[in-house]
Structure formats: structure tokens, C-alpha cells
Structure 1
Amino acid sequence: MAAPTSTPADYAAAYVMEPMTAAHWLAVMPMALCIAFGAILMMIRHRTDWHPPVALTALALLVLNNAMLLMKVLNDGPVTMMMGRWLPPFGIAITADLTGVLMALAASIVAFAGALYAQVEINTSGRRYGFYPLLLLLMAGVCGAFLTGDIFNLYVWFEVLLISSFGLLILGSEREQIDGALKYAVLNLMATTLFLIAVGYLYAIFGTLNMADIAMKVPQYTETAPLMTLSALFILAFSMKAAAFPVNFWLPASYHTPRVVVSALFAGLLTKVGVYALLRVMVMLFPVEREALSFVIALVAALTMLIGAFGALAQNDIRRFLGFVVIAGIGNMMAGVAIGGDMAVGAAIFYALHSILLMTALYLVAGEIGRIGGSFRLDRVGGLWIAAPAFSAISLALFFAASGLPPFSGFWPKALLVKASIDIGAWWLVAAVLVSGFLTTIAFGRVFLFSFWRPVAVEGGAGGVVSAPVPAGAVRWRMAPIVVLTGFVVWFGLFPDSLIVATQQAAAGLSDPTAYIRSVFPEGGAP
């Protein structure tokens, strides 16, 4: 018999009854903006001349939204919005804490810079094949990964950014791009499969996928559940996505193949999502297991940074060279995860933010070297200091930052990592950081001497003469994002205090997730 219809339903037992504030909408808007504007671009796919202004508008709004969200989190702590108003842990949580918002803001800045550069880099054919919708879909995946509070949805957003990255990687359908995309796809799909297995294993243990709920339950399962095996699976999956040793070979084999702006966005964003996931899972959810596996993570970190530095020294193609520089940076970030503690984890977050901005700028610089010098090969380009002195000075500043030299942003996270390593007596890790930095400095010095300082290129290179006439307006559009990103790199090098404080606070929020948990469960506990 049907229940009486006059009995009122108690929705408070299942739904969030309080009205959503503007801050809650700020947390979900990054994904909504990117998906909505991406859909608009698909609807106007025949008007490719409209794509750049529409995408730039979307990305400018994304930067503004993430900046406002950062201010909210700095002032009031983490913000959580439950999708569908379901009570946690049953609904999907979008949780914006300081670590995630800092990464999302840096990502949106480089995406906007990349869209500026793409106005002259991506021709009508590239627009017709969907560069701008794919870029917005990529940003939806990146921001979703940084802001989700549900570990299965971390996997979902990984899939979103991977699908869009496949499309961007083969834009142009050249043979070299297809070859690079195959290597990129195989390793990333293997990592995704391992990630999905780990998520299933995690759900079987805890019966929940909400990160705050897991963080509360982990201490109860430390002695009874196979958490070490689960942690090892997550470390392997995220290390593959971050291009850590020994599964790093896919990155230098693929990142040099697409358009320069695509390579720049990939170098700035994709591996950092893997590092972020490692920080989130191992530092916040499984700190005991991270401590037990710290030596293994540190060894992987040291080998990653050394392989990256030695690989950079051996390259003749500037784009391949930068691929190994990305790998060396991943090693430094993983060292922070291995050491643990607020100083080292904060240094890893600082290095990730620095690398997002810097590596995007360096790949755009490589694009300009290819345009001005007529080649990406060091043995065929030279004389850039005479041909473009202002551009050469900007490039030198970025080279110093990538080498970890003061007074640029790369110096501070390395100094913090060295200090944290000394504090725990890990002298071999100190040596790895310093040797990797020294070798990277030599590698960048080699690139600068060959490409900029050498007066005449050899083997028929352009010798400092512009390879083809380029309108002055197009040059300005290409240089503007490089100048903006270099400005951030110099600013955070000269005035690092605010970023150091923010990243240390973010690290403290990962190691003690009480505020994160309370944002999801305001009453102090899961139902």
C-alpha cells in the first residue's frame, strides 16, 4: 500500500538545505566556464575568426574567477560545494583549498598566455580542427583535477584532460605528431588504468571516494588494511603521469612534436597535475605510508632530476632539450614529497607554480628561436643576440630562472628543498639537487652560447636573419605572453615572501586536513 501523501519528506537527511553562497559558485565555475564556452565554440565552428576572441574572453573570466576564489580561500579557508545538493560523502564534492586554487590560478594564467600566442601560431586550419574548444576542454580537466574533492572524479578529470590533449597533440596530422601521440597515449593510458585499479581498491577498503571522508577513516585502517600496496599503486600511476624515472621516456619523445603553443601548455600543465595528485593523495590521505616509502620516492626523485639534467645536456633540438628540463623539475617536486614536512612540501608546491609559468614561457621562447633563427637545431641557429637583443635578454632571465639562480623564482624552492634535506640528514639528496642544478645551468649556458651569442650559424642556418617576414602586430602578439610570464618569474624571484607564505600555508593544509574536512563536513563528522 502506498505511503500517505500527506507525510512531509525530510529532505534534510539527504540534502544540503542551506542556500549556496557566491563563494560556492566560485569553486565550480572554472569547469562550468570552460565547458560552456567550449560548447559555444563548437556551435560557431564555421566562424573560426570568432574563436580567438571568444576563447580569450573565457580564459580571462577563468583567471578572474580563480583570483577571486584564491582571495576567498586565503581569508576564510577551504570552500566546498556539493553537486546536486547531496550530503557528503554521497554527493560529488568540489573542494577548493589553498593548494588546489594556487595551482588552478597559475594554470589559468598560462592558458590565457597560450591563447594569446595562438592567435598567430594557430592558422585557420588549426582553428577549424578545434584548437580552441580543445584548449577549453583541457582547462576544464586541469581545473577539475585541482579542485575536486572526490578521488574518482580526480580520475574523471584526468580523462577529460587526456582526451583533449590527444586532440591537441595531433593537430596538423603530421607523421611526427602521430608517432609522438602514440607514445604519449600508450604510457598515459597505462597510468590511467593503474589509477582506476587503485581507485577501485580504495573503494573496496573504505567504502567511500570522498577525500575528506577518506582522510578521517585512514587512521582506523592503518593496521588492518593493505594501505602500503594501495599507496604504491597510486605512486606508480601518478609518477607515470608526471614523467618520473623510470617511466619518463614518453615525454621527450612526444612534447617536441605538436605546435609550439601546444608543447608550451603541455609542459606547463600536464605533468603538474600528476605531481598535484601525488601531493594530495600521499601527503593528505596516506601520510604514514608516504613516510614508509619516503626513501623510494626520494631515490626516484634523485634519478629523475639527474636523468633530466644529463638528457638536457645531450640534446641538439631545443624542444627536446626543454622536455628533459621538464623531467628534471619533476624530480625536484618529488623530492619535496619524499622529505615531507611543511617546508619541503611547500617547496614542492612553490616549484610546481614556478614550473607552470616558467616552462610555458620557455617553450614559447623556443618558438621564437625557431621563427627568428629559422631552425630549432642548435647547430643551425645563431646570432640571435644581434637580431633580437630585447628577446635575448628576456630569454637569458628565463634561463637563469630554470637553472635555479638568484634573483629569479627558481632559486627559492631549491633553496628550501636543500634546507629541508639538510634538516633530515639526506646529504645524498642535497647532492642530487645541487648537481642537477649545476648540470642544468651548463645545459642552458650551452643553448645560450650556441643560439644567441655565436655570431654566425653553421650548416646553412638563418644566422640571425628572420626566416620570413612577419607583421609587427603578429610579433607583438607572440612576445606579449612571453613578457607577461617572464614578469611573474622575475617578480616571484625578487619578492618571494608572499608566495613562500602561501605555499607553506598550503602545505600545512595538506599535512593537517582539519580545515579541509570541516569544509566538507561542517558538523565535524561523516554521517
Structure 2
Amino acid sequence: MAAPANTAIDLSAALVTAPVAAAHWLVILPVVLCIGLGALLLMLRDRTALHGWIAIPGLVVLVLADLALLCKVAAEGPLTMVMGRWLPPFGIAFSVDLFGAVMALAAAIVALAGSLYALGEITTSGRRYGFFPFLMLLLAGVSGAFLTGDVFNLYVWFEVLLISSFGLLILGSEREQIDGALKYAVLNLIATTLFLVSVGYLYAVFGTLNMADIAMKAKTPDSEAPLMTLAGLFLLAFGMKAAAFPVNFWLPASYHTPRITVSALFAGLLTKVGIYALIRVLVMLLPAESAGLAPLIATVAIATMLAGVLGALGESDLRRLLGYVVISGIGTMLAGVALGSAGGLGGAIFYALHSMVLMTALYLLSGQAARLGGGFSLHGLGGLYRQSSWFAGLSLVLFFAASGLPPFSGFWPKVVLVKAALDSGAWWLAAAILLTGFLTTIAFGRVFLLAYWRPRTQQDAVVASEPIAWQANLPIAVLAALVIGFGLFPEPLLHLTQRAALGLEDPSAYLHSVFPGGAGTQ
């Protein structure tokens, strides 16, 4: 029966009645900005010459917004905003802690660097087929995945970035691109299906998909709930997304086929979203099951590291070689997940941030090497040091960083991970990390000797779509400066990543931001 018209209705049990603080809009601003820019670029589809000059200022604003969000979270703790003002777990929540905020900022920086390079590399045809709208949609999916507080919406944002990545991958419609896209699509669609099955399974067990609500209910699980099976499904799904062994073969078969800008963005962003989701779901939501799977994750980590670095040693195409380096880095991050301690998780997060910046820079660098040398094959490249000594020096810096050598950013996360492994008695995991670093040094030493130091023996045609110098060199130089800066002054990032890891180990602040009253659904 309807209540009388003059009866006061108490909405506080269902809705957020307090005004939303202005600063809390920062939680959803990155996603709204990316979708809005993508829509604007679509409306200007007949004026593609303007796309880059609209996208780049928009990405600068995105970097500033993500930086403001990170500062807010670092100062005040996790922030939550629910859609439609419905109280969680019924309202869709965007919940941001240090882990999500720092990953979102790194993604925005990588996208800005890639868009600068794209000004010179992406032709009129590529812009007409939607490079910049696809880029904004991709970044909306990546940002949404890092900022959401709901497992189903994590799946939705995965779908958003997957759809946009298909468009970017086939930009140009060349035979090699179509072949790479097919392999990429099949494996990722299988992983997405497994993810969706896992989400349905999760809802059947807990009756909710809000991450904070699941984390609280998982503390006192139903003894009959098959949580280990559920955790195993998530591990397989996210392992495929992250290109972990033995489901890593799609990455080197596809990442070398698109434009260099696209390869750089994929290497910097997509596999890291898989690692982020793996850490968020297993470590924060299912910690007991994550600890039970630790030996398996450690085995997968070692196999992934070795498969990646051995593939890099045997590869003669520079782009494919970098794909194997991406895989090897995923294994290093998984080592931190396997350790499960604050030190291990902090090292994995630090390495993920380092890898996002470094791998983007390395792919852009490979594009410049091909421009100078006429191709990507190490058999044809040569004499790059003589052609541009400063470019050779910049390359050497990035090669050292990828190998984990001091004083660059790749050194410190490996130190943290090795120390965490030794502290937990996993000396074999520490040995695998050190061995991988040594073999990576050999792989990049081979690249430098063949492509840079060896005199050039043949003149190949210069690749098409030659980038304008400043548009190609500026983003590489900026990313290299970050690699050097975080190597020389690692303390702020070390402190930030350790705080992020502690927040995953003890998510009480995250839970309180979602449920200030201290209880979810029962």
C-alpha cells in the first residue's frame, strides 16, 4: 500500500544523503574525461587533422587529474564514490586506494607519451580510421579497471579496453596485422570468458560483487564454498590477460604487428591491467586462497621469467624481442605476488610502474632505430652509434634499466623482490630473478653490439610513416628521464609502493571508505 503523500521517507538506509565532496569527483574524473574526449573526437571525424591537437591537451589534463587524485588518496586514504547515490554494495562503487591511483597516473603518462609519438607516425588514413578515439576509449577502460570497486565492472572495463585494442591492432589493415589480431583476439576472448564465468561463480558464493563487501565476507567463508577453485579460475583468466606462462604465446605473435605507437601502448598498459586485477582479486579479496596458490604462482613466475628471457635471446626481430622482454617482466611481478609479503607486493607494484614507463619507451625507441637503420631485423641493422651517438647513449640507458642495472629504475624493485624472497626463505625465487636479469643484460648487449656498434653492411629502405624528429624524440627522452630519475631518487616511489602494498595486506582503510559504518550486506 502506498504511503500518504505527507509521510516523510527516510532515504538514509538506501541512499547517500550527504552532499558529495567536490574532491571526490576526482575518483571518476579520469573515466569521464576519456569517454568525453573520445566522443568529441568521433563528432569531429571529418576533421581528423585536429584529433591529435585535441587529444594531447586532454591527456595533459588527465595526467593532472590523476596526479591530484593520487595526492588526495596519499593524504587522506582511500576514496569511494557510488553511482546514483545508492549505498554500496547495491550502488556501483568507484573505490581508489594508493595502488589504483598510482597505476592510473602511470597509465596516463604512458598514453600522453604515445600520443605525442603518434602525431608523426599515424598517417591521415590511420586518423580517419579512428586512432585517437580508440586511444581515448582504451584509456577509459584502463582507468576504469584501476579505479573501480566492483568486480563485475572490472570485467566491463576489461571489455572496453579489449574492444578498443582490436581497433588499434588492425589500424592499417595489413595482412600481418590481421594475422596478429586474430591470435590476439582468440586468446583474449577465451580469457574474458573465463573471467566472466569466474565473476558469476563469485556472485553465487558471496551474493555480492562489491570488492569491499567480498573482502569482509571472505574473512569468515562458508566452509563448503569452493574458494580455491574460484581463485584458480581467476589466476588462469588474469594469467592469460597478463601473458603468463604457459598462456603467453599470443603476445609475441601479435605485439609486433601494429604501428609502433600501438605496440608501445599495449606493452605499457594491457598486461599491467592483468597483473593489477590479479593482485586486487587474489591478494585483497581472497588472501587465504592466494597463500595456498603461492607455490603454483611462484612456479609460473619462474617459468614466465625464463620463457621470456630465453625467447629474447633467440629473437632477431627487435619488436618481437621486446615482446619477450614484456613477458619476462610479468614473471618478475608474479614473483612478488607469490611471496605475498608487503615487501614482495611492494616490489611487484614498483616493477609494474617501472615496466609501464620502460616498455613504452623501448618500443618507441625501436621505432626510431628502424627509422635510422631501415628495418627491425638485427641482421640488417648496424651502425646506429655512428649515425646518432646521443640516440645510442639513450638506448644504452634504457637497456641497462631493462636489465635491472644501477642506477636506473629497474634496479630497485629487483632489490626489493630479492630481499623479500631471501627473507621468506625462497632463495630459488631470488636466484631466478637474478638469473633473468643477467640473461636480459646479455640479450640487450647483443642488440647493442649488432644494431649499434657493428658497422652497417647493407642499405635497407627506410620504413614508411617516418616520424617527425621532435615528435618521436621528445616522448622517448621524457620517459627515459623518468627511468633515470626514479633510479637516482627511488625513495618517494619506494615509500609509495610499500604503503600501497600494506593497504592490500590490511585493507581496513579501503573497507572503511566503502562502508563508513563498518558493515556490508550480511
Same fold at TM > 0.5:
yes
Shift of 1:2: 4.1
The equivalent residue for 1:247 is 247
Matched, 1:87 2:87: yes
Say whether the 8 Å CA contact 2:245–2:303 is kept in structure 1: yes
Shift of 1:220: 1.4
Shift of 1:223: 2.8
Matches for 1:325-404 after TM superposition, within 5 Å: 325-404=325-404
The equivalent residue for 2:175 is 175
Q: Distance in 2 between matches of 1:470 and 1:185?
A: 29
Q: Distance in 2 between matches of 1:294 and 1:382?
A: 44
Q: Distance in 1 between matches of 2:194 and 2:463?
A: 46
Q: For 1:379, what is the secondary structure of its paired residue?
A: coil
Matches for 1:89-488 after TM superposition, within 5 Å: 89-221=89-221, 223-458=223-458, 460-461=459-460, 474-488=468-482
Q: Distance in 1 between matches of 2:94 and 2:53?
A: 29
Counterpart pick for 1:493 among 477, 480, 487: 487
Say whether the 8 Å CA contact 1:194–1:233 is kept in structure 2: yes
1:325–1:468 CA distance, 2 compared to 1 (3 A):
closer
Q: Distance in 1 between matches of 2:361 and 2:84?
A: 39
The equivalent residue for 2:509 is 515
Q: Distance in 2 between matches of 1:76 and 1:337?
A: 26
Residue 197 of structure 1 aligns to which amino acid in structure 2? V
TM-score with structure 1 setting the length: 0.97
Q: Distance in 2 between matches of 1:3 and 1:24?
A: 35
Say whether the 8 Å CA contact 1:379–1:457 is kept in structure 2: no
The equivalent residue for 1:22 is 22
Shift of 1:436: 1.0
1:420–1:319 CA distance, 2 compared to 1 (3 A):
same
Q: Distance in 1 between matches of 2:22 and 2:302?
A: 44
Q: For 2:218, what is the secondary structure of its paired residue?
A: helix
Q: Distance in 2 between matches of 1:468 and 1:98?
A: 42
Cα RMSD between the aligned structures?
A: 1.2
Shift of 1:432: 1.1
Q: Distance in 2 between matches of 1:518 and 1:30?
A: 23
Q: What are the Cα deviations for residues 399-418 of structure 1, in whole angstroms up to 9, with x where unaligned?
A: 00000000000011111111
Q: What are the Cα deviations for residues 438-490 of structure 1, in whole angstroms up to 9, with x where unaligned?
A: 111100000011111112234x447xxx778968xx20111000000000000
The equivalent residue for 1:77 is 77
Q: Distance in 1 between matches of 2:466 and 2:286?
A: 53
Shift of 1:5: 1.6
Shift of 1:26: 0.3
Moved over 2 A (4+): 466-471
Residue 298 of structure 1 aligns to which amino acid in structure 2? A
Q: Distance in 2 between matches of 1:95 and 1:53?
A: 32
Residue 168 of structure 2 aligns to which amino acid in structure 1? L
Q: Distance in 1 between matches of 2:117 and 2:18?
A: 44
Q: Distance in 2 between matches of 1:112 and 1:54?
A: 12
Say whether the 8 Å CA contact 1:404–1:411 is kept in structure 2: yes
Residue 475 of structure 2 aligns to which amino acid in structure 1? P
Q: Distance in 1 between matches of 2:20 and 2:58?
A: 23
Q: For 1:409, what is the secondary structure of its paired residue?
A: coil
Say whether the 8 Å CA contact 2:121–2:466 is kept in structure 1: no
Say whether the 8 Å CA contact 1:171–1:258 is kept in structure 2: yes
Q: Distance in 2 between matches of 1:242 and 1:187?
A: 11
Q: Distance in 2 between matches of 1:222 and 1:294?
A: 22
Residue 512 of structure 2 aligns to which amino acid in structure 1? R
Q: For 2:69, what is the secondary structure of its paired residue?
A: helix
Say whether the 8 Å CA contact 2:120–2:465 is kept in structure 1: no
Say whether the 8 Å CA contact 2:170–2:177 is kept in structure 1: yes
Q: What are the Cα deviations for residues 98-136 of structure 1, in whole angstroms up to 9, with x where unaligned?
A: 000000000000100000000001011000000000000
Say whether the 8 Å CA contact 2:317–2:376 is kept in structure 1: yes
Say whether the 8 Å CA contact 1:51–1:132 is kept in structure 2: yes
Q: Distance in 1 between matches of 2:465 and 2:428?
A: 51
Q: Distance in 2 between matches of 1:461 and 1:30?
A: 43
Shift of 1:388: 1.0
Q: For 2:220, what is the secondary structure of its paired residue?
A: helix
Q: Distance in 2 between matches of 1:235 and 1:313?
A: 28
Q: Distance in 1 between matches of 2:19 and 2:213?
A: 23
Shift of 1:384: 0.6
* Structure 1 residues without counterparts, runs of 5 or longer: none
Q: Distance in 1 between matches of 2:457 and 2:72?
A: 52
Q: Distance in 2 between matches of 1:43 and 1:365?
A: 33
1:284–1:468 CA distance, 2 compared to 1 (3 A):
closer
Stretch moving more, 129-138 or 448-457: 448-457
* Structure 2 residues without counterparts, runs of 5 or longer: none
How many residue pairs are counted as aligned between the two chains?
521
Say whether the 8 Å CA contact 2:120–2:466 is kept in structure 1: no
Q: For 2:95, what is the secondary structure of its paired residue?
A: strand
Say whether the 8 Å CA contact 1:94–1:147 is kept in structure 2: yes
Say whether the 8 Å CA contact 2:350–2:413 is kept in structure 1: yes
1:116–1:221 CA distance, 2 compared to 1 (3 A):
same
Q: Distance in 2 between matches of 1:118 and 1:304?
A: 31
Shift of 1:165: 0.2
Q: Distance in 2 between matches of 1:287 and 1:88?
A: 22
